[in-house]
Amino acid sequence: MKNVTKKIIVTAVLGGVSLSALAAESLTVISFGGANKDAQTAAYYQPYEKTTGSKITAGDYNGEMAKVKAMVEVGRPTWDVLEVESPELLRGCEEGIFEKINWAQVGNKADFVKPAVSECGVGIFVWSTALAYNADKLKAAPTSWKDFWDVKKFPGKRGLRKGAKYTLEFALLADGVPASDVYKVLGTKAGVDRAFKKLDQLKPNIQWWEAGAQPPQFLASGDVVMSSAYNGRIDAAQKEGKNLKVVWNGSIYDVDSWAIPKGAKVKEAMKFINFASKPENQKNYSAHIAYGPTNLKTVKQMDAKLVANLPTAPANLKGALALDVPFWVEHGEDLEERFNAWAAR
C-alpha cells in the first residue's frame, strides 16, 4: 500500500502537479454571523462547495478591523474573504489592508448598483438599520425616531447599537433635522454637540447592543419596546413567527462588501466572489433574508412580494438616508472616540 501511495506522489510531482493541488482548495470566509451567515451558507457557501469541490470554512465577527490589521501586518492572514461595511472598506483600502479587486475576474461593473463597485470591494447586499418594534408589546405604532425618543408616550427601554455610527444620525433625526441635512449638521461641532445632547435625554432608557442578533432577541423578550436593528434580522425573526415590525422612515441604508485581506488566497477568493455575485445566487440569498441584491439583473428574477420587503423597494427608500461613507471615513475615529467616552460616563 505504501508503494502504491509513493507511486501516486511521484507521478504527481513528475507530472507537474503539486501535492496541495491533490487536495481540494479551502477558503475561509468571515461575515457578521447570525441570520445573515445562515443565508450566505445556503446561497453561497454550500452551492460553491458543490459546484467547485472547494471547502468553505465559515466564521463570523463584529467588524473588528484590529484583527484584520494584525493578520496583514504579520503577513499570515487566516481569513481569505471578509464581509465589511462601507466606511471600513474605504479606510482599509486606503491603508493597504485589502487587495485590489480584479473586476475582470468578478463581473461587469455595469451590472452592479453604483455603491457596490469599489477598488477593494464587491458589494454583497443593500441593507438598512431601521427602527423596529414588537407589535404585541405596543398599543400604538411608532412612526419615527421622534417617537423613539418619546418615553412618555412609549415608556420602556430602547435598544441602540453601541457606537457613534447610525446612533448620532438617529439622534439628529429625532431632534427634527431633515434627512437631507443630517450629515451637513453632523459635520459641524455644534451639530455633534446637538446629537450628544439629544442622546443625553434618552441615555437612562438605552440598552446597548453590539451584535446584530441582539435587537430581535431584546424585542421578543420585552427587554426593550423599540430598537434600532438590521432589517434582515427583523425579517428572520418575522419568519420565525415573531410579530416584529420595521419602520422604514428615517432608516439608514448601506452596502456590505466582500473584501480580501492583503496576502490571502487571492485567486480562490476572486473565484468565490464571482460566484456569489451571480444573479441566481443573489436571488437565493435575498429569498433567505430581506437584504437587497447588488447585481441589477437579480431583481428581474425575483417575486414582486419579496422585492417589496427589501430596503431597495421605492416605498422603503422614501424618507430613508444613505450612509455617507466619506463622512465616516473622515470623522469616524474622532466621533467613535467621543462616543465611547460619553457611553462610559
**Of 246, 207, 204, 201, nearest to 224 (Cα)?**
207
Question: What pLDDT score was predicted for residue 82?
Answer: 97
**Residue ranges of the domains in the chain?**
23-126+255-312, 127-253+316-344
281 SS3 class: helix
- Give the span between the Cα atoms of 244 and 258, in whole angstroms: 29
**Of 213, 287, 300, 268, nearest to 33 (Cα)?**
213
pTM confidence score: 0.78
- Give the span between the Cα atoms of 159 and 66, in whole angstroms: 26
Question: What pLDDT score was predicted for residue 139?
Answer: 85
Question: What pLDDT score was predicted for residue 19?
Answer: 39
Domains 23-126+255-312 and 127-253+316-344 share a fold: yes
39 SS3 class: helix
| CATH code 3.40.190.10 for 127-253+316-344 | yes
Element (H, E) at 19: helix 19-22
Superfamily per CATH, domain 23-126+255-312: Periplasmic binding protein-like II (3.40.190.10)
- Give the span between the Cα atoms of 323 and 169, in whole angstroms: 9
> Residue 226: which residues within 8 A CB-CB, separation 6 or more?
131, 132, 133, 138, 142, 147, 148, 154, 156, 158, 159, 219
Q: Measured between alpha carbons, how far is residue 251 from residues 17, 24, 84, 266, 314 in Å?
A: 53, 43, 19, 35, 13
Question: What pLDDT score was predicted for residue 314?
Answer: 81
Size (the chain), residues:
345
pLDDT tens-digit profile, the chain (345 residues): 434 443 433 333 334 434 344 346 899 999 999 889 999 999 999 999 999 999 999 999 988 899 999 999 999 899 999 999 999 999 999 999 999 999 999 999 999 988 899 999 999 999 999 999 999 989 899 999 999 999 999 999 999 999 999 999 999 999 999 999 999 999 999 999 999 999 999 999 999 999 999 999 999 999 999 999 999 999 989 999 999 999 999 999 999 999 999 999 999 999 999 999 999 999 999 999 999 999 989 988 998 888 888 998 888 888 899 999 999 989 999 999 999 999 999
Q: At what angle do helices 167-174 and 189-202 cross, to 10 degrees?
A: 80
Q: Are 345 and 276 in contact (CB under 8 A)?
A: no
